[in-house]
Amino acid sequence: MSRASAQVTHEHSLSGEKLSLLAIFAHSEDESFGPAGTLSKYASEGIAVSLVAATRSRAGEDTEEFGARNRNRSCSCRASGIRRACLFDYQPGKLSQVDSTIIVERLVRLMREVRPQVVVTFAPEGLTGDADNRVISAATTAAFRATEDTAQFAHHLTEGLRAYAPQKLYHCVLPASLVADWGIGDLNFVSDEQITTRVDVSAYSEAMKNTLYCQRHRAYDFIRWLAENRRIEWSTEYYTLVESRTRKRPRREKDLFAGLR
């Protein structure tokens, strides 16, 4: 059996549940500059991949740009193989002004509906220190902890949404050594020792490139830089396992679903 066909048979957990991954980010372009290869990889394996973007458009952009953002997000999702995309439509740069309980409730509702085993978001500072990332990272962590508690947002039960416990919460990060090799300033990173999971996405470089091209408003310079520096290959994506409800917690992983399938 080929490696590709072997992967497709692993779309269910050890207990027989359909595997699901929920990626939660502040902006519609974040998945293109974060876990695009990872999302493509798992979607190609038959795993249900869903994406949340909390904001739609940068402040001050005109109505035409709002439409462009929607098209960019749809294009990016098609390129990555994402089955479901959810847009909260908050104003960018103003998430800190939104009652955090409202954001957490929306995320808990989504987790109870989608029922993902794995949840992915950026670390609090994101890749660039964006304030919206801090809000979404904190809200995602709070929702991850709250969604199994029947007392939290109990009205969900009347809507048929039962309490549910996602198994693993990851931060998508960049290791210090990689950022140093790239030679790009203004990118946040973590020490290499903090990396718990390295996902091989070398087979999904085309999908990753396509998601970058979809984000036309920001991607040109980055794509040009990648093209001009062919010695650099984005063949691995990096994660820190922040919280886990699994019994075994290996120090190093190659799969976000390690221990679940």
Q: What is the pLDDT, as a whole number, of residue 87? A: 75
What's the structural domain count of the chain?
1
Question: Is residue 202 assigned to a domain?
Answer: yes
Compute the C-alpha angle 193/121/152, nearest 5°. 120
Does 79 fall in a domain? yes
Query: What Cα–Cα distance (Å) separates residue 207 from each residue in 35, 141, 224?
Result: 11, 28, 17
Please, is 240 exposed, middle or buried when counting C-beta atoms within 10 Å of its C-beta (0-12, 13-18, 19+)?
middle
Residue 48 in domain: yes
Read off the pTM.
0.82
Structural domain for 47, as ranges: 3-244
Q: What is the CATH number of the domain that holds 144?
A: 3.40.50.10320
Q: Does residue 252 form part of some domain?
A: no
CA distance 189 to 121: 14
**Residue 175, pLDDT score:** 94
Residue 116 lies in a domain: yes
Give 10-residue mean pLDDT values along the chain (261 residues). 45 78 87 81 91 70 39 42 69 93 96 96 89 96 97 95 97 91 81 96 72 48 52 80 88 92 90
210, 31 Cβ separation under 8 angstroms: no
* Structural domain contains residue 258: no
Whether 256 maps to a domain, the answer reads no
- Is 37 inside a domain boundary? yes
